[in-house]
Amino acid sequence: MCYACAEAAERKSFAQSRVFTGYVSDAHPGTFTTWTGAELAKVTRLTTGRVRYTPTGGAYRMRYVTAVSPDGRTWIGHGSDAWDVITLRTNNPAGFTGGELSRDSYPPFRRAS
Ligand SMILES: [Zn+2]
């Protein structure tokens, strides 16, 4: 399958999903993308937490992402900034047009310290 077909399949799957794993990377700032780098959603907020340490001494920071897909759904997710890959979730069903998640749905955002 070529990139164009893969991207079309990913976009279709994303539009029908409420949980989706993609990428937020320096290569494509401000966007949530497929593995091929195709835009799935606009990142509207990206907050990075304090430095945390793994049991083995590795350091990472948690990042909290909010994104809005072309159909108007708001997506949120968080994960280690050690990886570009991140899973976003939405409370809005496929076909939802506009609006915000309830305040209670958001993770506890933390400012970088
Ligand atoms: Zn193809």
How many folded domains does the chain comprise? 1
Instruction: Compute the distance from residue 5 Cα to the ligand 1 centre, in Å.
Output: 4
Q: For residue range 11-58, what is the model confidence (pLDDT) as tens digits?
A: 999 999 999 999 999 999 999 999 989 999 999 999 999 999 999 999
Could you tell me if residue 113 is inside a domain? no
This prediction's pTM: 0.78
| Domain encompassing residue 18 | 3-96
Residue 89 belongs to a domain: yes
User: What gap in Å lies between CA 101 and CA 72, rounded to an integer?
Assistant: 11
Residue 12 CA, ligand 1 centroid: distance in Å: 15
In a domain, 112, yes or no: no
On whether residue 101 sits in a domain, the answer given is: no
For residue 51, the CA-to-ligand 1 centroid distance in Å is 42
Whether residue 109 lies inside any domain: the answer is no
Tens digit of each residue's pLDDT (9 = 90 or more) over 70-98: 988 999 999 999 999 999 999 887 766 55
Give one DSSP letter per residue of the chain, joined into a string.
--HHHHHHHHHHHHHT-SEEEEE--TTSTTEEE-TT--EEEEEEEEEEEEEEE-TTS-EEEEEEEEEE-TTS-EEEEEEETT-SEEEEE-SSPTT--S----GGGS-------
Q: Ligand 1 center to residue 10 CA distance, Å? A: 12
